Amino acid sequence: MADKAKAKPLFVAGRPDATCSFCGKGRDDTRYLVGGKSPTSHICNDCAFDALTCLVEAATREANAAASAAQGYAA
């Protein structure tokens, strides 16, 4: 597997020693590190993508269940 070129972070929040609250990646290990309301809470781009994926999958399941239920009532 080829090594990826390490990109400089585009946006880094908080202190220089800030890390992702979910996976522990530091500023130099991720592309984005966004700070939360707490000065010690941060999320990296990888964890944000994973969270978004989970939310989209859950919303899709809910929409499919609602559509199935609506079809059952229309019959």
pTM for the complete prediction?
A: 0.71
Cα–Cα distance list, 41 to 16, 18, 46, 47, 59 (Å): 13, 8, 15, 13, 26
Confidence grade of residue 52 (pLDDT, cut at 50, 70, 90):
very high
For residue 69, what are the contacts with CB-CB under 8 A and spacing of at least 6? none
Confidence grade of residue 7 (pLDDT, cut at 50, 70, 90):
low
For residue 40, what are the contacts with CB-CB under 8 A and spacing of at least 6? 21
DSSP 3-state of 7: coil
Sheet containing strand 42-44, edge to edge, reads 11-12, 32-35, 42-44
Max mean pLDDT range (1-5, 10-14, 34-38, 57-61)? 57-61
**pLDDT: which is higher, 55 or 39:** 55
pLDDT given for residue 47 in this prediction: 97
